[in-house]
Amino acid sequence: MSENIIAILPEFWISIWQTFMMLGIGLACAVVFGGPLGVLLFQMGPGQARANRSVYMVVSWIVNTVRSFPFIILLVVLTPVTATIVGTSIGPLAASVPLAAAAIPYFARLVEQSLREVPRGVIEAAEAMGASEYQIVRRVLIREARSGLVLALTVLAVSFLSYSAVAGVVGGGGIGDLAIRYGYYRFQTDVMLLTVASLIVLVQIIQFGGNTIAHRLDKR
């Protein structure tokens, strides 16, 4: 282990914690707000019993608009909003705001796609038995699509792990910030390789965990 790596080890573990904090906040917001938004998109979409073209087009346009922003631009655009919400525009907590803003529509679209894989006959059977809209969503749609939803959350986690690294470019903290400050500005290649290896390991762990859970939930 090189002297550079030994010297930054305390900061390295702090950056790992900051990365998980940013990722955790972003994923939590995605599930809490993006999940229901995805269900709304599905229910109002073409071919559904409660299809509403006008509502679907408006919500879909908003989702696509937010998703079209490159994350680095979204970081800058939301700087005033971030400063208002958390009182600062730098640091891992501040970076969590644009991460959450990007994660919500991203996950909403993944949820919509997962729900569309539920056989229409299952939904119609529940409707024929007098199930309420809430019961259909909770006991039919989510239950039948739970494996796909876990995989969707896994894809989101892997994608936004890299987004959290991008946040380091503007002082957002985490692994990306460590890579910029030491690996790039100070030309410490070994530190840069450490951060890259850490991201690779984290991605493998997240993907393996998501695949394992999804496989166990898949009853087909």
Position 1 scores a pLDDT of 62
Position 39 scores a pLDDT of 92
pTM of the model: 0.89
CA distance 27 to 210: 14
Rg of the chain over all Cα atoms, to the nearest angstrom: 20
Position 17 scores a pLDDT of 92
Containing domain of residue 7, as a range?
Answer: 3-217
CA distance 197 to 5: 13
Tell me if residue 217 falls in helix, strand or coil: helix
Position 220 scores a pLDDT of 59
Rounded average pLDDT per 10-residue block, the chain, 220 residues = 79 91 92 94 82 88 89 86 85 88 94 88 78 79 89 93 80 81 82 90 94 83
The tokens 């166990």 sit on which residue? 216
Count how many domains the chain has. Answer: 1
- The CATH number that applies at residue 59 is 1.10.3720.10
Position 219 scores a pLDDT of 67
Q: Which residues have CB under 8 Å from 35's CB, separation 6+?
A: 107, 108, 111
- Per-residue burial over 117-141, b = 16 or more CB atoms within 10 Å of its CB, e = otherwise: ebeeeebeebeeeebeeeebbeebb
